[in-house]
A and B are shown apart, each in its own frame.
Chain A
């Protein structure tokens, strides 16, 4: 008997044609570090052998089923997660290593991971898992307080209330009183705002 074998055109499709590498689409997790960027380009260009696993599927499935809302898990789900998780560990480790290098260290510390998580907003879901170390937060230059919101008040900031600026205006004695009062009031407001800003920053 002659049977028709269903040779689908699917076999003709090339991965690269179907899903062209999206080099320009790295906005949320883009990194200026070339090694990290190259890693992600490589991950999107090539598909490693899915049988070569670094993480145990049974454990991944167990973690998935720990969620009471999860009833059944298809066989492909842990395999896909093994790949995603492997990339996650590599990405987080590289970002953390950049933090260690910034501090001239060769040993990766927990604080490096905390800082890497805090620096990548896509990893915000980990902020509860990796609470920020207070001492590290204050030491890290990345946590500099926000600039003063009232731009107009900045000039006043350079003249503390105690400093008298009457000397240059001796010639215009009749105007001194009116100018002095607004300046004093302004200084007061600036001080209050500065205190508020500092509190927010800390």
Chain B
């Protein structure tokens, strides 16, 4: 048993729902107790879908337990077939039904429905949402995809976009435009918007574009083996990744490597003088493995930040993320416990967090700016406006997303220059906080008890701050004060000093000057 208040991922059957809901002409019959329909509202509310997810729940109750639940399953599957007339069906169990061992797959097989019925085995007590999506899509592809004649012109499948995916909708549009630029058509997008009939003709493409390894890799590997379809390994988020992606695609298809940069603004924006202040900003990155990996590259190479730490919550990506962390000279944090993430962030005291909606809240609590780069996300991150992460427009979106939470160059300059001025005093905070200052890190007295354990950046007990040095520290704007305190303390420790006075503070400042 493990006590949890918040989870980064839902159970695996929610992953299966993400695939079913992304598709058309497919129905999911889920053996589940009353109440599991709560997951419907993730799709109707967070993603704002205008239809119910294509899922029928058997809704068994306590009095049905025993042989009755199998009958209930058959009835529900029949009723769903009659009412929705799907081209294919997936059947499976939620966590409770897994325990009563009715075997939905076996039951459905004996019903003799005139459509393909695909059984799902999703181990609810071991695996999670992303696995559920990956496995479900893999089973659908395995059941329905067949070798077919290739399209005359070069085409690609876009693989891995699902319902409830972070920016999946707009990434598809952006990718299709990138392919068009290279003279490559889109054969099928899947699971997003695909029908079972579309799945059958996946093999007509010349290449698979694996958009999101979390939800499409198993299917891509199977298609590579069984249908001879190579797939791309680069996820085109960020300018460098887009260029690599185009080169990779060119090598596979023999089409010219072309990237339309006429509307690409990130490189110039990042080079312009107002961005100079972004240099070396310490950033902590957390989310799903794919988004963390691409974002680390964007942060370091395209924004000029320093990656102070990174990690992911999905164990499936633990190995590549550990390797990536080594490349960046930091320690990887692989955990699905948000308290571990909060502790690491407090220890590192970064100037910017890139993460999920949970990191947004951790940032709010610690007074550190944050931008959202990965699921799980809330309703505001399924925006009405066009907001891809991939492709040239995705890069533009990223520049804005990563910069907006920070105090921009001119504003930072003014804050430093007028730090004693009444409008720019400590409590005023940067304008993006809407006039609400973050909780000052150095004054725990007024802070609510729940935040107290993190309100002081960790400091070694034997180092003593002279009151005058403390006062001097407070003159430093709050958003860099955490870093100054840390630097000064490690500088003092390095020199074997146990006390910090004003001189130590400025010696340290000189030492770390860049």
| Binding partners A and B | no
